[in-house]
Amino acid sequence: MNKPDTYTLEELERRQVQLKKRIRQKEADIKQEIDDLFLAPTVENQFDQIVNYAKVGFNIYDGFRTGFKLLRSFGFSFRKKNK
């Protein structure tokens, strides 16, 4: 027969410390990835900066337009309905 798993208090405390350390490391990794994701692109000249602003503006417009089309396709209407 198999002996049931028994753990000492020291083993449990050591395991808890290890897990907390891993959690802190994972949180730091996730924070770094998010910071890198939302980091503004570096530009060398004024023209690149203008192009980046145009791209951001177009992406905002495209997101709004896509969302509007999705809402309309689901039957959501922006007009008041007559009763």
Distance of CA 75 to CAs 6, 68, 69, 78, 79, Å?
A: 59, 11, 10, 10, 11
Whole-number pLDDT of residue 37 = 81
Whole-number pLDDT of residue 26 = 98
Give residue 46's identity as a one-letter amino acid code: Q
What confidence tier does 7 reach under pLDDT thresholds 50, 70, 90? Answer: confident
Whole-number pLDDT of residue 77 = 64
Higher pLDDT, 17 or 73: 17
The pair of structure tokens assigned to 63 is: 């997101």
Q: How far apart are CA 11 and CA 15, in angstroms?
A: 6
- pLDDT tens for each residue of 29-61: 999 998 888 877 778 899 988 998 899 899 999
Question: Looking at the predicted structure, is the pLDDT value of residue 1 above 70?
Answer: no
Q: Domain boundaries in the chain?
A: 7-39, 43-83
